[in-house]
Chains A and B, each alone.
Chain A
């Protein structure tokens, strides 16, 4: 047998193996059919659990008379709504960028060079779950309201503190998302492959690590954004009532139907963000396959 015919024979078998595997999947799908009635029951119960409160809120938000959509019109016409949303969005984006710049290199380095430190780093990133935001913000105010670094004296200084606090709050979500992404790729070998091809650390991070963490980074980023947009305590105590969280709280005190409308609008925005994650992360399944004879 010549090398060419051997290659052809092997390729033919590989193609056949793929066909067989596809046919087996089709057969398994056919056998499964529509699934068991129990699975459907659990699915329907779960759907009711999530959908009924939403429907209730929606129905309540439409009770304004004579114009059923008045609450939505008022919310969307209120410049504080758009202003608050934009402010929180900008703060959220800055938080995400800083958080990514801290977490990605840290998680990468820990996995690559000092894996024994991983439990410690994991513990540190969990601190925001242990320390309530109220404690965090009081600590920040106590330290940064006196000289030499008196940040709370100005709006800009408070904005800086707000971002810093949000970066800390984002750690558990961002670290877990990034760490999970790193676990799915062979970080060490990919790094070494890039190094052997002449690549330095910055290029490795930018061209190899970041793109392969795309879905994880997006998950971490949108979780962070969702937290920042709805956050009330820190923004309120730092006097940044222009943020969306304090705006929502203020609105709830003065108007009966608008908070329901705002809740649904922010819920819609969150789902929109999730849709973006799903859209941008499409096709990434299977790309991390690094080895295997087939």
Chain B
């Protein structure tokens, strides 16, 4: 059953459309992430759910109740901000108990709830500290506890980990997901970090220029991007210009060499140009990766820690493809200009739109 529903939500600031035609149905307890670059409308949408922005059109319904026109303090929606927004004049305990005090909860219950939440966020002895006495990660945990204390119907997190360093971000990410699962709270998480969105979410909403590009599970978003934008934004991808040889049979020509797509090509006719998306990790060096084979000269080999990325030039006019292999100290990487064969299965070849490949790069890094 749908718990949070946004229907045809739009937000305009004067002539500028910040969010257009946004539709989303989230189930109770679901973790949904809004993913996109800066200015794509994800935070504006979140702020409309929180009540800080009023939609120009459309409706927001939580558990069957239309809250579109309710003020933010009457929505029972918890919010965690990027800047933590802890009240500097209050102790950690008072911050967490603030929402309960507003609700006139008896002080004994507030005390018990604060202690319970301090335990959940692993800061059991920090109740009497002030926010300025805590590290950034600890402050964000307190902000999370404060939002959870009021037992909100929906928990909103606006890039909560952006201000933290990489290591703490990963630790807190796990904690947020674990707490969310433990409490079963419907959560909307805004981020521009694809790794965060993919690792945390039940579903990801990819947004660009105020519009939804794709909604799906992390695996679906990653493996089957619906648009060139999603393909280029999420993960690392080869975007290759290909000529359709036989649309009904899914046959394409890349740099003068023929490959086959998983399905017949319906987006374009024979002889036209399409964009072929290939994940670097689905391509193998050698002939063991699948029935599609391409030959070319090694242009570059990059060591990226756990993986080694090899770029292969497929044709004289500069069509290149990159592939990833796990770093194995016992293997010697190919030499520059060495003639190699790369292979991949038809299932890995995704035709994502008619027309030439976007002018991003052969490999678009998300």
Q: Interface of A with B (CB < 8 Å)? A: 3, 6-7, 9-10, 13-14, 185-186, 189-190, 192-200, 203, 207-208, 211-212, 214, 286-294
Contact = CB atoms under 8 A, between A and B. Distances in A.
Interface string B228-241: 00000000000000
B132 A286 contact: yes
A290 B85 contact: yes
B136 interface: yes
Interface in B81-139: 81-89, 98-99, 102-103, 122, 130-132, 135-137
Given A195-B73, A196-B72, A212-B89, A291 B83 contact: yes
A190 B77 contact: no
Contacts, number: 118
A152 B87 CA distance: 47
B281 interface: no
B278 interface: no
A97 B71 CA distance: 30
B167 A10 contact: yes
- The A interface is mostly helix, strand or loop, or mixed, namely helix
B209 interface: no
B83 A196 contact: no
A12 B303 CA distance: 31
Residue in B71, B83, B175 whose Cβ sees the most chain A Cβ within 10 Å: B83
Contacts of B83: 186, 189, 290-291
Interface of B: 50-52, 71-79, 81-89, 98-99, 102-103, 122, 130-132, 135-137, 143, 146-147, 150, 156, 163-165, 167-168, 170-171, 174-175, 178
Given A10-B167, A293-B168, A193 B174 contact: no
Nearest to A13: B167
Given A211-B89, A290-B86, A294-B136, 10 more contacts: A3-B178, A7-B122, A190-B85, A192-B50, A193-B81, A193-B86, A197-B98, A198-B99, A212-B89, A290-B85
A208 to B, nearest CB: 6
Given A186-B85, A198-B102, A293 B170 contact: no
Contact of A192 (B81, B98, B99, B170): B81
Given A6-B167, A196-B73, A289 B132 contact: yes
A6 B129 CA distance: 23
B73 A10 contact: no
Contact of B88 (A195, A198, A207, A289): A289
Contact of B150 (A198, A287, A291): A198
A287 B131 contact: yes
A7 to B, nearest CB: 6
A200 B73 contact: yes
Contacts of A198: 73-74, 76, 99, 102-103, 150
Contacts of A9: 167
Nearest to B143: A193
A9 B166 CA distance: 13
Contacts of A207: 87, 98
A261 B114 CA distance: 57
A193 B147 CA distance: 9
B79 A196 contact: yes
Contacts of A192: 50, 52, 72, 79, 81, 85
A13 to B, nearest CB: 8
B256 to A, nearest CB: 48
Contacts of A212: 87-89
A289 to B, nearest CB: 5
A195 B72 CA distance: 6
Contacts of B72: 192, 195-196
Contact of B85 (A189, A203, A214): A189
A57 to B, nearest CB: 41
Nearest to B103: A198
Nearest to B165: A293
Nearest to B74: A198
